Amino acid sequence: MKVYFNKNLLRSEYISFLAPLLWCPDFDNKPKDKARYRWEDQQQIKDWCGNWGNALTLASQTECDYFVYPRYFILDDYCELKKYSDEAKTYGKKVIAFCYREIDDYIDINNNILWYKRATKKHNPENEICLPPFPEDLLKHNHGAINFIQENTHHHYSIWYTWYSNYHNLWSFLRYIIVRWIGVLFSRQICRRILLKLKNERLYSILVKAWIWNFCRWKTIAQAKKLEKYEFTFIQRNHALTLDTQKNMREQYIKNLNDADFALIIRWFANYSFRLYEAMSLGKIPIYIDTWAKLPFQHRIKYEELFIIVPFQHVHQIGHYIDNFIKKNAGRLAKIQKEIREVYEKYFIMKNYYATIIKDLENK
């Protein structure tokens, strides 16, 4: 597949889609300037990319199949992207843009941009495909072995969940209090009466963007704690856990998830969750609270067979959904865990994800 990108747009961040062209293995190794970055041993990048690396070639604006907007995170460059897409349109091309923001209001994506991103709306155009975050593969912390559920000996299945409340100084605490009060107001007057009753996904999206996402978490956790048949392993932090987090806290986070049977997944701000892919990397069965998010490769992956999917408007029946899944898949839970890990490896390891979408683009 032939792609064109403007090298002058290369900054401190770029998209891993272009790794074979930049000779850079992933977005942790970013070029320090606008010049083309090459490894001394080009064989390493070829091995990392596999067939994906051979599928991409550079071409001019007239000869390419697609324009590529070479930024991994599109922040405030809407005018820049619009100019880029307008240029592509003059050549009769589409732009592949990798984005972690909603930019529908700024760019006409339907006519001239092929956009891979995460989504907060259910009815997305066909040219919008969910972009996972590519978190760390946690299985390496368990020596590559999945902790399988022991169905015959477990009388209490365990459910893992970790979250954080983002207040670590006076200002953030005051903001948290304000948002909390707004959340209470919205949860009583809007969420409870309208959202849950009318199943209004657009309203949910608005509330999420307005930082009223805590309502979904509070309600789900409150219901999960009522489940007497299950052991609920709940941890609350005052900040998000990342690779840069203190080592002991990160290890506790991974160990608790690894020791659990199921992982509670509640989508965060913008309907998007690192926990989902971290849980899948360990082969954990997600208890997925469906808030009308769009998951990657929904036409390929049978999520309804691998996940315990609980519609948000039915979250008060979460125990019923878990019981039914366990009963329906009695004797098969360990097999499902293995399938989840296989799906993770096939689609959500970075090089395999990009290899898949490149193949899809070639088929178009």
Give DSSP secondary structure letters for 315-349.
GGGHHHHHHHHHHHTTTTHHHHHHHHHHHIIIIIS
Residues 41 and 7 in one domain: yes
- CA distance to 5, 173, 332, per residue, from 214 (Å): 40, 15, 34
Q: Would you tell me how many other CB atoms lie within 10 Å of the CB of residue 337?
A: 21
The domain spanning residue 291 has which CATH number? Answer: 3.40.50
* 276 pLDDT more than 90: yes
Position 193, amino acid: R
Q: What is the mean pLDDT of residues 305-333?
A: 93
Residues 161 and 117 in one domain: no
Residues 203-250 have pLDDT tens digits of: 555 555 444 455 677 778 888 888 988 988 888 776 655 556 677 888
Residues 289 and 358 in one domain: no
Place 73 in a pLDDT band, splitting at 50, 70 and 90.
low
CB 216 within 8 A of CB 269: no
Q: H/E element holding 266?
A: strand 262-266
Q: Per the structure, how many domains does the chain have?
A: 2
Show the domain range for 116: 2-132+352-363
Please state, in angstroms and rounded to a whole number, the distance separating the CA atoms of residues 267 and 217: 8
In the block, tokens 């299945």 appear at: 157
Residues 53 and 87 in one domain: yes
211 in the Ramachandran plot: left (φ > 0), alpha (ψ -120 to 50) or beta?
left
- The pLDDT, as a whole number, for residue 323 is 95
Residues 115 and 171 in one domain: no
Residues 101 and 153 in one domain: no
CB 241 within 8 A of CB 169: no
- The pLDDT, as a whole number, for residue 222 is 82
CB 149 within 8 A of CB 261: yes
Residues 89 and 198 in one domain: no
Residues 197 and 114 in one domain: no
Please state, in angstroms and rounded to a whole number, the distance separating the CA atoms of residues 330 and 169: 48
Q: What is the mean pLDDT of residues 48-60?
A: 83
- CA distance to 130, 208, 265, per residue, from 272 (Å): 10, 11, 10
Could you tell me how far CA 157 lies from the centroid of its own chain?
26
Residues 6 or more apart in contact with residue 158 via CB below 8 angstroms: 230, 231, 232, 233, 259, 260, 261, 262
Residues 23 and 151 in one domain: no
Residues 143-166 have pLDDT tens digits of: 999 999 988 776 689 999 887 655
Residues 58 and 84 in one domain: yes
- Strand partners of residue 2: 57
- The pLDDT, as a whole number, for residue 176 is 59
- CA distance to 169, 323, 334, 363, per residue, from 109 (Å): 40, 42, 42, 20
**Hey, which of 169-173, 178-182, 320-324, 352-356 has the most confident mean pLDDT?**
320-324
Residues 297 and 168 in one domain: yes
Give this prediction's pTM.
0.81
Residues 144 and 280 in one domain: yes
- Region of poorest pLDDT, from 25-34, 95-104, 119-128, 324-333: 25-34
- The pLDDT, as a whole number, for residue 92 is 93
CB 249 within 8 A of CB 237: yes
